Homo-oligomer: A and B are copies of this chain.
Amino acid sequence: MVAASTPEGKSTRVRRIGILTSGGDAPGMNAAIRSVVRTATPLGIDVVGYIDGYVGLVSGSHRELDDRAVGNILQRGGTVIGTSRCPEFYDAEVRALAADRMRSDEIEALVVIGGDGSFRGASEFTREHRIAVAGIPGTIDNDVWGTEETLGFDSAVNTAMLAIDNLRDTSESTGTNFFVEVMGRTSGAIALYTGLAAGATGVLIPEVENDLEGLASRLQRALQRGKRSHIIVVAEGDEAGGAFGVANRVAALVDIPFRVTVLGHVQRGGSPSARDRIIGVESGALAVRCLAEGGGGVMVGMRNRQAVLVPLEEVVAHAHPEPELNKLRLAIEVAG
């Protein structure tokens, strides 16, 4: 476990913490919220939930979260305390206002569930105002440095995979090829894992340059072998212009019947998978324990399927994690 930096001057006993969810919602956020409350309560720590992310932090809008408030939410998608994007929080004056409100409300520490944008704000906030913060990576994109898994990623991959299982029924029945766009503006993680799990013939991600000629040749060879139906998974941020862009370019190279499907926000929702619920439970518990012991300035990452603390400064100092190119090669090799 990485040592957590302890903000100086911190009272030895935390009595009240806030929690917020920020950025796009992700399955498992509620599991983490529940775990934060359930871990805090026996330690004598009260928890308040800020409404709609940093927006609520800035305006002071929050509600008490006791055991009952988090009953029966473990299995629900989304976030019961709301979330939003709040670019204002990149403004130091706005952060100062939020810190003042927290102090006047006697809320001593903060759990932030969100992506790296949310953590950049949180990192500035804790540095400037010495309010302890523990981050929990919650984003379906799995693009946060310092953790192998983010809350919501496993659920999103399963949702996208099941949607493609459906498409394959039509593909096999009619010989139609599908170009399927999954989420991921700058990260190809969902596309890559979905492609592997759904048996895609091609996977196109933003982090590497497309080899559309190679893909077209493979489709051509498969046609000659009599395999007529293929699934191509494209991350929305792919430089060829998402699934429509890729489909048009490929169709200019090889003559195949095709359709384009954009899975869209369906990938964000739904009851979280077992993995995401467990990550939520483990992350929430460690975040509270860290804050209760006077720690802060950390993110709870998952490494080797265990929750560990990672300095928040390191997280925000790094770009996104590297794409797993070995898995990308594998996806092509087993495509058949």
Contacts and interface: CB of A to CB of B under 8 A. Distances in A.
Interface string A70-94: 1110111111001110000000000
A174 B75 contact: no
B174 A84 contact: yes
Interface in A247-276: 259, 261-271, 273-275
Contact of A38 (B159, B166, B336): B336
A27 to B, nearest CB: 8
A114 B146 CA distance: 34
Nearest to A73: B199
A192 B175 CA distance: 30
Interface of A is mostly: helix
A289 to B, nearest CB: 10
Contacts of A327: 282
Contacts of A268: 166, 169-170
A172 B267 CA distance: 15
A224 interface: no
Contacts of A77: 166, 169-170
Interface in A18-47: 21, 24-25, 27, 34-35, 38-39, 41-42
Contact of A282 (B264, B284, B330): B330
Interface of A: 21, 24-25, 27, 34-35, 38-39, 41-42, 52, 67, 70-72, 74-79, 82-84, 148, 154, 157-159, 161, 163, 165-170, 172-175, 178, 193-194, 196-199, 225, 227, 259, 261-271, 273-275, 277-278, 281-282, 284-285, 303-305, 327, 330-331, 333-336
